[in-house]
Amino acid sequence: MLTFYSDGTRRRRARSELDGGVLVSPYECPERVELVLERVRDVGLGEVREPEAFGLEPVLAVHDRGYVDFLARCWDDWLAEGRTGEAIAWIWPTRTMRDDVIPEHIDGRLGHYALSADTSICEGTFEAAMASKDIALSAVRHTLASGAPSFGLCRPPGHHAARDQFGGYCFFNNAAIAAQQALDRGVARVAILDVDFHHGNGTQEIFFERDDVLFLSLHGDPRTCFPYFLGHADETGRGRGEGFNVNYPLPPGTAFDAWSRALDDALARIRAAGCELLVVSLGVDAFEHDPISAFKLTSDDFTELGRRLAALRLPTTFLLEGGYAVEEIGINAVNVLTGFEA
Ligand code: Q9C
Ligand code: ZN
């Protein structure tokens, strides 16, 4: 299987993440992609290729222009205020205020465009997000052209990024951008299967009213897990999108037996909906030793996940999302890919 990767992913190296009331070194760090790349090479998964540069057009097909402009300028605007730390949102247009006038001040703009305070913006963040979406686009274009599976070693991840919001370590929604690209190139219906521990709120929001993308997500129940405010089972889509959004909230402690029952249901729905392409939002933070998650999947379970995905016999693009057990991230992510190819 071909892997797409570029060093541009490493241009984001944030220093701070607000975590339990203290600023810690971010879980979402550049070492993650280095270790996955090392594992790809160790197991001989296949060629590692540089992505092409696709510019902003495919980004603007799913994201708001004002949002993209905000991301492009945020770091400079922050520095222009004389700030020394990283850009972190700290006030939001919550239930009791207005959100229809976008502020001019960078602090207000951060609140408008951020969905959480865990994700600092630092130098190189926009450039890394650009590299990440180019990896996703290159991977899906390869799958579309050849029918062969591909792996986009994306970083930063994407599935929490909504049409006009960043957070949960995500800026551009790589899976949504890739799926939209496939539709724009003639695919009639795409399935996005999100196996990251966290609900893919951004992907859900982008496609909620559409029937050309079937979105399915297995994740920690938002009653107790990030992102807390989306991901319940009764969110099934709206309008023509009704029935094309499927959430499987699962309790903390869920192991592969229960997790894979939800997976099998998701796979049956993908089959029934006649999807022509599968995009896997491949987070591996469902791993038992993930430091910020609560499921109990083992490294071998990720191999079995790959096998079950292969049984769909669909053109498939894998895009890396989360996974913070940095020592094992390469093993777990690549186990899915080798299981798929077995
Ligand atoms: N410092 C992904 O897996 N942060 N994002 C919670 C608070 C939110 C995870 C910890 C976790 C987001 C792509
Ligand atoms: Zn996650």
Is the residue at 119 inside a domain? no
Is the residue at 266 inside a domain? yes
Q: Which ligand 1 atom sits nearest the alpha carbon of residue 323?
A: 3
Closest ligand by atom to 227 CA: 1
Distance 163 CA to ligand 1 centre (A): 18
Query: In the prediction, which pLDDT does 250 show?
Result: 99
Q: Residue 306 in contact with residue 338, Cβ under 8 Å? A: yes
Is the residue at 77 inside a domain? no
**Among protein residues, the one whose CA lies closest to atom 9 of ligand 1:** 168
**Among protein residues, the one whose CA lies closest to atom 5 of ligand 1:** 168
| Total number of domains constituting the chain | 1
Query: In the prediction, which pLDDT does 74 show?
Result: 98
Distance 96 CA to ligand 1 centre (A): 26
**Among protein residues, the one whose CA lies closest to atom 11 of ligand 1:** 168
Is the residue at 205 inside a domain? yes
Q: Which of 100, 186, 172, 160 is nearest to 135 (CA)?
A: 172
**Among protein residues, the one whose CA lies closest to atom 13 of ligand 1:** 322
Distance 46 CA to ligand 2 centre (A): 26
Q: Which ligand 1 atom sits nearest the alpha carbon of residue 293?
A: 11
Burial bucket for residue 192 (CB in 10 Å: 0-12, 13-18, 19+): buried
Residue 135 burial (CB count, 10 A):
31
**Structure tokens belonging to residue 181:** 């690209």
Range of the domain at 266: 2-10+20-58+126-341
Is the residue at 324 inside a domain? yes
Closest ligand by atom to 171 CA: 1
Cis amide prior to 227 (ω within 30 degrees): yes
- Strands (E) in the chain, as ranges, are 2-4, 17-19, 22-24, 48-49, 150-152, 190-194, 213-220, 245-250, 277-282, 316-320
Q: Taking the chain (342 residues) in consecutive chunks of 10 residues, what is each chunk's mean pLDDT?
A: 98 98 98 98 98 98 99 98 98 98 98 98 98 99 98 99 99 99 98 99 99 99 98 99 99 98 98 98 98 98 99 98 98 99 96
Distance 67 CA to ligand 2 centre (A): 22
For residue 208, the 8-state DSSP code is: T
CATH code of the domain in which 285 resides: 3.40.800.20
Pocket, ligand 1, Cβ cutoff 6 A: 17-19, 118, 157, 159-160, 168-170, 196, 198, 226, 283, 285, 292, 321-322
Query: In the prediction, which pLDDT does 83 show?
Result: 98
Is the residue at 71 inside a domain? no
For residue 219, the 8-state DSSP code is: E
Query: In the prediction, which pLDDT does 179 show?
Result: 99
Is the residue at 96 inside a domain? no
CA gap 312, 263 in Å, rounded: 12
Distance 82 CA to ligand 2 centre (A): 33
Q: Residue 103 in contact with residue 112, Cβ under 8 Å? A: yes
**Which of 118, 132, 165, 201 maximizes ligand 1 atoms within 8 Å of its Cβ, making it the mutation to test the pocket?**
118
Is the residue at 264 inside a domain? yes
User: Complex ipTM, two decimals?
Assistant: 0.98
Query: In the prediction, which pLDDT does 236 show?
Result: 99
Q: Which ligand 1 atom sits nearest the alpha carbon of residue 160?
A: 13
Query: In the prediction, which pLDDT does 165 show?
Result: 99
Q: Which of 269, 271, 256 is nearest to 303 (CA)?
A: 256
Task: Please report the DSSP string for 98-136 in residue order.
Answer: --SS--SSHHHHHHHHBS-SS--B-TTHHHHHHHHHHHH
Query: In the prediction, which pLDDT does 267 show?
Result: 98
